[in-house]
Structure 1
Amino acid sequence: MLNKFFPDQSFKALLFDFDGTVADTMPAHLAAWNKALDKYDLSLSRDQHMSWAGRPTARIVEMMNQLHKTDINPEQFVKEKEAHYLASLGDVTTIKSVMEIIQHYHGQIPMAIVTGSRRKIVELTMNQLGIQKYFDTLVCAEDYTQGKPAPDCFLMAAAKIQIAPADCLAFEDAVLGIEAAHTANMNCLKVTDDHSLVHTR
C-alpha cells in the first residue's frame, strides 16, 4: 500500500501520531479546549490549535499564560479539558485512509503510537474505537520531557520496538510532528485536512 509513495523503499516499522492522524479527535479536542477556557474569557481558534498540535496540554497552558498574562493552573486545566473531551468521546471516529494502512500491515511489521496526549486519554479513546490491538507500544506525554518538535518521542518509540529510525515511517497531521519526525531522520506521510496522505520528505 505504501509503494505509491515509496516505490524504491520499504519500512520495518510504522509510527503514528494519534490525534488527527489515527483518530479524528481534533474537533472534539478543540471544543473541549474552548469549554475549559470559557471561564477565563479566552478562546482558541482552529489555526492556533493546529499550530500547537503535538504539544502536551499543560505546556500549551503555560504558553497561553505567557501570551495572555494569565495565571491558569496547568494541572487543573488539564483535568477540566480532559473531562470535556471524554464527554464527547462517543462522537470520535477513526481516519479511514490511515486505518486501511494500519489494518493492512498489522502482524507484518511493528506499529506504535507517538503522541503528545496523556496515556489515559489515548487508551480510553483507543478502547472506544476498538483499535488497541493494532499497536505494539504507545509513547505518550508522560514518557518524555521534550515534546514535539523535538524528536525525542519518535526516537523513543523506535528504540522501544528496536528498529533504526531511518527504517521507520512516521504519520503526522501537524507541523510540529512532521518536524519532529524529520529531525529523528524518518520519512513522514502527512494526513491532510481531507484525510488524504502526502509525502513530506
Structure 2
Amino acid sequence: MSETALVLPEGEFKAFLFDMDGTVADSMPIHYLAWVKAVTEQGGTFPEDVFYAWGGIPPARVAAMLNEKYGYSLDATEVTRRKEELYFESLPTIKPIASVVAHIEASRGKIRFAIVSGSPRESIEKTLTFLGLLDSFEVLVGAEDYAKGKPDAEPFLRAAELLGIAPKDCLVFEDADAGIASAEAAGMSWVRVPGPVLA
C-alpha cells in the first residue's frame, strides 16, 4: 500500500466525504479473502482483478454481478452473509491508511466528515471502531441508505444532504473507479487514494 502524502485539490471545502474500504481502512485484501472463501464454498471463483475493478459496489450487487458474469447460481443473501461473517473474523488484523488518517487528524474539528461506503452499516461501524475512528465521523452512509450504489451519484448526494452541505463544497476521498465516477456524478471534487499494485 502506497503511503505517500495525498495532495488535495485546490478549494475551500466544508466537508470531506470518505469511502471506507481501501480509503480509510486498509481492508480491501481482507474483504477479498472473505469473498473468495464465501464464493468458493458455493462452487465459484472470484478473480482478484475483477474484485478490485468492482470496488465500492454493494455486496448484494457484487453477488448478482458474479452470477451474471460467470453463470453462477450463488445465493446472494447467503454468500453476502457468509462473506461479512468471514470479514468480521479478520477485523483485528485491519490497519488504517496513514495518508488518509493524517488528513482526518489535521482537519478534525475544522471540516465536517462523513463515510460513504458500499459496505453495510454494521461493517462500517465495526471497522471504524477497531481503528478507533468511529467518533470522527458525523454521518455514516452505508449500503442500506440508498437505492442506487456507486457509480451512481446517490450515495455521495445522500451524505451531503445529511450534512446540509452543497455538493460543490464537498471533497471525496476514494480508491475505486466506481466511487470516483459517483463523486463526479454528484458534482464533487475528489482525490484518489492509491490502491495495491496487483501482480
Partner of 1:143: 145
Q: What is the TM-score normalised by the length of structure 1? A: 0.92
CA contact (8 A) 2:44 2:72 kept: no
**1:3 Cα shift?**
11
Write the distance in 2 (CA, Å) between the matches of 1:78 and 1:194: 23
Partner of 1:198: none
- 2:86 equivalent to 1:75: no
**1:41 Cα shift?**
3.0
Equivalent pairs counted in the alignment come to 193
Structure 2, unmatched stretches of 5+, are none
1:63 counterpart letter in structure 2: M
Q: For residues 27-59 of structure 1, give each alpha carbon's deviation from its aligned partner in whole angstroms, at most 9, with x where no partner exists.
A: 000000011111233222221111111111111
Q: What is the TM-score normalised by the length of structure 2? A: 0.92
Alignment partner of 2:51: what SS?
Answer: helix
Aligned-residue identity in percent: 40
Structure 1, unmatched stretches of 5+, are 196-201
Q: Which structure 1 residue ranges, 4+ long, deviate > 4 Å from structure 2?
A: none
Alignment partner of 1:155: what SS?
Answer: helix
1:62 counterpart letter in structure 2: A
1:55 counterpart letter in structure 2: I
Write the distance in 1 (CA, Å) between the matches of 2:15 and 2:25: 19
Partner of 1:49: 51
- 2:41 equivalent to 1:26: no
1:103 corresponds, among 105, 125, 129, to 105
**1:194 Cα shift?**
6.1
**1:107 Cα shift?**
0.8
**1:87 Cα shift?**
1.0
1:177 corresponds, among 161, 176, 179, to 179
Alignment partner of 2:8: what SS?
Answer: coil
Alignment partner of 1:14: what SS?
Answer: strand
**1:168 Cα shift?**
0.3
Relative contact order, higher structure (CA 8 A, sep 6+): 2
1:68 counterpart letter in structure 2: Y
**1:73 Cα shift?**
1.4
2:169 counterpart letter in structure 1: D
**1:4 Cα shift?**
5.3
**1:63 Cα shift?**
1.2
